[in-house]
Structure 1
């Protein structure tokens, strides 16, 4: 089995995102640049602002945010992300039945939410200096001690008590 280097892994992830998540771009800001900066920021636990300053010949953070704001429909984004996650499932996951697990995740939110963000702000016990969070659930399998995420679903505050969630995924 070939070993993935950091650059090969980055290329695989960028290709997967580019194939499955359409972002209308213009000028020097191409989809590939946007995903490379987002992935680097995420893996370095850094901001888009700082990441775009550190790298050379890349779009500014304002350019990246401008293009990301075009993706304001969270349902479409979820569907596209889940399609991307499922597009690269290993054959061992696709074959046969699997035991799945579901995690509930909270990302601290600071500030005053916009009307678009407000439904997605989840209130919980104080953690990291806030009681407000973005919340999401992930569905995954663990195969040979490796976790493979199958789907992700944003959790809205009004849907957290007794509501049914529909996470659609297919391993076919």
Structure 2
């Protein structure tokens, strides 16, 4: 990739793919036999190309005259990676170069992605079981951590979910990643899967502002959401862990809106948000700010369009495809920031130091 600004103000697909192939080749060493007919770069070119085209490795190899044989590529993808190393290296690649981009306060979003699985579960490793969705309770599942700044989303981490993983265990891991990155976090936006006493305790312990919708658990909150107008209440939940219990208290913003053209008690829709953030002073504020989380779903849809198709149930290969699909988005945004949008940075060279904004 040239170190000069693009003359036509665009990042082209071949530059994006070459940048990512080089990054993978530098960061992920593959041990190949001395007499191997293909090299690591050949494997990564097929992997990245298949994800970018939204096709399978087999299809890409068949259609490309100079591509290695599909069996060789698939063999190495299945045997040269392990889950723990892939998650570590994948997250390192996702975070690479981003600290230069994320100079301001960032809004952080975490979410769970469940990809339905309809096949035979016997002998299929790494499935995650949850409430029925799209006709199944078995999923290939992943948790993602995103940073959002100036309406752009950057993936900071991804991890595979297995039975036994909980929302609080995922959140604890992701909050630890945020601490290590030393980002200035404006607030953490979470889906309702994270609404529980342990997650709220973690957010308070890490001193992060947060916003999430509440779940109608318990008679008290059901009653609060069945009557009255917009207001703020104090609520609490009890947590239990290893024989210990504690109570976590937090504000709930109840926002009332009218629906179906009815402006009476029967036409009121009430939505509750657990929120503790300096920019939220009213229920309307909570309703206004929470939809920022939905930008993560747009990123998820984009990743679905830029991921290699496969029928394999190998959890390592499937995670590898997810990581590369998210890397494609990160790299495109980074290259656009570095080589196309440089004038807005006043000509400051990449890596020249970080500055922080104290505004909210």
TM range (shorter): 0.7 to 0.9
Aligned to 1:5: 12
Distance (whole Å) between structure 2 residues aligned to residue 157 and residue 101 of structure 1: 22
1:88 matched to 2:97: yes
Aligned to 1:73: 82
> What stretches of structure 2 of length at least 5 have no aligned partner?
183-360
Contact preservation (8 Å) 1:82, 1:150: yes
1:134 matched to 2:143: no
Residue of structure 2 aligned with 1:157, choices 142, 148, 163:
163
Aligned to 1:36: 45
RMSD value over aligned CA atoms?
A: 2.5
Please state whether the residue corresponding to 1:57 is helix, strand or coil: coil
Distance (whole Å) between structure 2 residues aligned to residue 166 and residue 46 of structure 1: 32
Aligned to 2:111: 103
Please state whether the residue corresponding to 1:99 is helix, strand or coil: strand
> What stretches of structure 1 of length at least 5 have no aligned partner?
none
Aligned to 2:234: none
Contact preservation (8 Å) 2:127, 2:140: yes
Over residues 82-131 of structure 1, what are the superposed CA-to-partner deviations in whole Å (9 max), with x where a residue is unaligned? 111112215131x354221112112344544685x52x21134243x754
Tell me: higher relative CO, structure 1 or 2? Use CA pairs within 8 A at least 6 residues apart: 2
Distance (whole Å) between structure 2 residues aligned to residue 55 and residue 72 of structure 1: 25
Please report the TM-score for the alignment, with normalisation by the length of structure 2. Answer: 0.42
Please report the TM-score for the alignment, with normalisation by the length of structure 1. Answer: 0.82
Residue of structure 1 aligned with 2:60, choices 51, 55, 58:
51
Residue correspondences, number: 168
Distance (whole Å) between structure 2 residues aligned to residue 106 and residue 73 of structure 1: 21
Residue of structure 1 aligned with 2:149, choices 138, 143, 150:
143
Residue of structure 2 aligned with 1:20, choices 27, 32, 35:
27
Distance (whole Å) between structure 1 residues aligned to residue 168 and residue 111 of structure 2: 17
Q: Mean Cα displacement is larger for which, 9-18 or 21-30?
A: 21-30
CA spacing shift, 1:19–1:148, aligned 2, 3 Å: same
Tell me by how many angstroms 1:67 deviates: 0.7
Contact preservation (8 Å) 1:23, 1:70: no
